[in-house]
Each structure stands twice: as structure tokens, then as C-alpha cells.
Amino acid sequence: MAFKDDLRRIRAIVWKDLTTERRSKAGFNAVAALGVTILVLFGFALGPDAQALRDAAAGVLWLAVLFAGVLAFNRSYQVELDGGALEALLLYPGARWAIFAGKLIANLIFVTAMLVIVVTVGIVLFQVRIPAGWPQLIGIMMLGVVGLVSLGTFYAAMSSRSRAREVLLPLLLYPMLVPVLLASMEATKAFLRGDIMNEAGAWVQMLSLFDVIFLVATFLAFEYVIEV
Amino acid sequence: MLRGVNLQVRAGEIVGLLGHNGCGKSTLLRIVATLLKSSAGDAYVYGANVRTEGDDVRRHVGFFAHVPGLYDDLTARENLAFAATMLGLPSADIDAAIERVGLAHVTHERVRGFSAGMQRRLSLARLILQRPRLLLLDEPYNNLDIAGMALVNDFIRDLSAAGGAALIVVHDLAPAAGVLERTVTIRDGRVAVPTAADLTHDGASPQAVTLPAGAAGIS
């Protein structure tokens, strides 16, 4: 019964976050624009060499998602802080993990939508040849997004009450994301090259392991970071 | 900030909390509402400890804060529907709650366009929907017109008549006249006997209640 109640609360938070985001529009547009801008800037920095662009595509793509994602995570709690809605949210009865789950799912949908735009632009800009096993590539990207969003949502909650949250979040998040980012980049790079050395599997395993660790840890710790 | 407040609010009782700015009135409400953790001491809401049984406490408590706690890009009705879902309440009563606070004409409009007073009314509608057993109100009359103040007082009286209790932080006793059954003054972090400085402009004398040390906290 309690679990059913928590599921109902999760659904409500996801609906609320996506509805407010859909209506304000500014957040998604800004985040997607930042992601695309980063791709373009890296494109300029790497120069016109098509092979160099292709080689760098996986790394640049994940960096664009990371930098734009931080903006998205900060925004997801900014909505709660405006007008004291976070306090109202914390006053509702029910498990704290349900709040985290709701924010996490909403952020997953948000970052995935941003990823679709960034990847599409990245394929064109970096002249990436889409590999035959592209559905698996989508799987790798989703694993990477899960790791990124679980830590991003958690640390955004932790820094949300700080005045310097815009600065604090990247400082906390980037070092912790190194293993997820590294595994995502290497697995994506290996797949884009056709996985000749059969190395993608090991990176995917590592990525999956970190996803599980981060998901479990953030769900367990959320209650302690969101309460004063 | 608080140095040993001993206070008991009984079911059906409406208590005003007085004191100078920064004396800890709002802090006390936030501790009882489980929004803050006290460094020492205990408080109980209908037998549930605010430090260790927060979820049980939150099932009984309704908090009317300084800030409205609403989502600007949701409509008035959507804000209440969200609250109803989070509280596990039926959505059938939403329209009645909105109508009671006089916002029926803007029920499908986004809160972003509401005045401060309208937002306060919508926050009140959320409490009407919730019908908590313990109502915590932090300066509830701020930004409200006379009709809005009357709405707050009517709701407090209704809740008290139904057996609920209310703890209200007020700076001016005039809007709460006829509602408060007793007042408690917080001074230097403790429940204090009021001085002339605590008297309101209309000369009403708040009745301070000092409970013996060791009495139950808020229960």
C-alpha cells in the first residue's frame, strides 16, 4: 500500500516537473542551445580535418551532454526553490526517495530529449558514420545518461540550498562523474569505430556497474541531503 | 536560538505565538513541521516525535508559511491537484476548496499571474483540502485583505471545532482577535511572561503561559 502511494507521488512529481518545463520552455531551449553551442565550438577548435572530427566525436558529444546537463540539474531544483515550493514538497508525507525518484525520472526524460538534439547535430557536424549496430549505441548512451542523471540529480539536491549552487554543483559533480564519463566515451568511441578490438563490452560492463552503484547510493543518501 | 521551550497545545486549542523579530517563533514552527531539526530537546505531534517519526508527524501537520510554496507555471487547480495527489486525497474536493477562498474565477489560470494575496489564498485552499489536525501558521495575515483574513480565521475556527489544534505566529493581534484562545510569548528563546512591550496597539494583553520544565513538547 505504502509503495503504491509512493508510486503515485513519483508520477505526480514527474508530471509536475515536465509540465512546468514544457510551459516555461526557456529551460529546455537554453540547455539544448548550450549543448549545440559546445559542439560547434569544439568543431571550430578541431578544425576541418574530417578524420580528426570523427575521432573526437564521442568525447565531444559526452562533454556537451555533461555541461548542458549541469544547467538542467540546477534548473530542476530552481523550480522548487522559487516561491518556497521545496518546503511544501518536503512537508508532504511519504518516503523521501519518492521525491528523488520523481526528479530523477523527469531529469532522465529531459536529458534524453536534449541528447537526441545534441547527437543529431553532432552526427552532422562531426561527419559521424552511423554504425550497423546503432541500437546498441543507443543502449550505451542511455546507460551513460542514467549515470549522469542519477549523480546530477543527487548533487543538485545537495547544493540546492547553497547560495553558490551554480558553482558548487559542477565542483561536486565533475570529479564524481569521471568513471561514468570515461566509460561512456570509450564505449561510444569503440562502437563508432566498429568495435574491432572487442573493447566496448568491458566499458559497458564498467558503465553498468557504476550506474548500479550510483543509483543505489543516491537513493539511500537522498533523505540525508535534502533535509536540513 | 531556542533554549528550552516547554509548551503544550491541546486538541481543539488555538494558540498565538508572540515575540520580537528573531526570537525563534518561526524556528519553533519549522521544528514542529519537521522542516528543521533541533539540536536538542523533543517535540511531539499527536504522540509522534518530530525528530524520529517525521513521516507520522507530516500526516497530521499543515504549514502555512511566509512563502506560498506554489508552482508558477501550473494553474491554481493543477497546484491543488498536485497537492491532493501528494497527500493521497481525492481530487473531488479541489473545486470546493478553490471556491471557498474566492479563486473560482481563476481556477484554470497560471499562478505566475496571481497577486501575492491570491497566492496566499491558494495556499490556504491547499490547507482546506488537507484539513490537518495541527495547523502551523507563520504570520498568516500577511498580504491578505480583510476578506482574506476572515477566510483564514474561519478556517482556523472550523478546524478547531472539528478537534484540530492551531499554533499561530502573529506580530499584530488585531487580525486574530476573537480567534486566539491564549497566547504564548517567546523571549530569549524561552516561553516568557509578557511585558508592556508585548501589548498590541488595541491594548489587548496577551496571556503568557509558562509550562513547568519537563512537560511534553508540542503534543
Q: A180-190, pLDDT tens digit by residue?
A: 999 999 999 99
Residues on chain A touching B87 (C-beta within 8 angstroms): 92-93
Which chain A residue's Cα is nearest to B59?
A: A93
Cβ contact, residue pair A12, B82, below 8 Å: yes
pLDDT tens, position by position, A16-48: 999 999 998 778 899 999 999 999 999 999 988
Cα B40–chain centre separation: 23
User: What does the pLDDT read at residue B208?
Assistant: 34
User: Which residues lie below 8 Å from residue A35, measured CB to CB, with a gap of 6+?
Assistant: A64, A65, A67, A68, A114, A117, A118, A121
CA atoms within 13 A on the CB side of A46: 21
Q: If you count residue pairs, one on A and one on B, with CB atoms under 8 Å apart, how many are there?
A: 77
Residues on chain A touching B73 (C-beta within 8 angstroms): 19-20, 23-24
Closest CA to B27 of B2, B62, B52, B50: B2
Residues on chain B touching A95 (C-beta within 8 angstroms): 55
Q: What is the pLDDT along chain B (219 residues), one digit of tens a residue?
A: 788 788 899 999 999 999 888 888 999 999 999 999 888 888 999 999 999 999 999 999 999 998 999 999 999 999 999 999 999 999 889 999 999 999 999 999 999 999 999 999 999 999 999 999 999 999 999 999 999 999 999 999 999 999 999 999 998 888 998 899 999 998 888 887 655 444 443 444 333 333 333 333 443
- The model's pTM is 0.89
CA atoms within 13 A on the CB side of B68: 25
Q: Which helix (H) or strand (E) holds B16?
A: strand B14-18
Q: Which among A9, A85, A90 has the least Cβ separation from residue B71?
A: A85
Mean pLDDT over residues A142-158, rounded? 96
User: What does the pLDDT read at residue A33?
Assistant: 94
Closest Cα of chain A to B196: distance in Å?
Answer: 35
Q: Does the structure show a pLDDT above 50 at A49?
A: yes
Interface test with B, best of A19, A80, A91 (most B CBs within 10 A): A91
Residues on chain B touching A91 (C-beta within 8 angstroms): 33-35, 58, 61, 63
User: What does the pLDDT read at residue A163?
Assistant: 84
Residues on chain A touching B61 (C-beta within 8 angstroms): 91
In order of A19, B36, B89, B116, B154, the CA distances from B80 in angstroms are: 14, 25, 10, 17, 20
Cβ contact, residue pair A93, B35, below 8 Å: no
Closest Cα of chain B to A116: distance in Å?
Answer: 25
Domains along the sequence of chain B with CATH: 14-70+132-198 (3.40.50.300)
Name the CA dihedral angle for A102, A105, A106, A110, rounded to a multiple of 10 degrees: 170
**How many domains in chain A?**
1
* Angle, helix A50-81 to helix A134-159, in steps of 10 degrees: 40
Cβ contact, residue pair B68, A8, below 8 Å: no
Task: Judge whether A37 and A29 are in contact, CB under 8 Å.
Answer: no
Q: Which domain holds residue A89?
A: 2-226
Percentage helix, strand, coil for chain A under 3-state DSSP, each rounded to 5? 85, 0, 15
Mean pLDDT over residues A109-114, rounded? 96
Cβ contact, residue pair A87, B35, below 8 Å: yes
Q: Which residue has the higher pLDDT, A51 or B101?
A: B101
Report the C-alpha gap between B128 and A150 in whole angstroms: 36
User: What does the pLDDT read at residue A126?
Assistant: 92
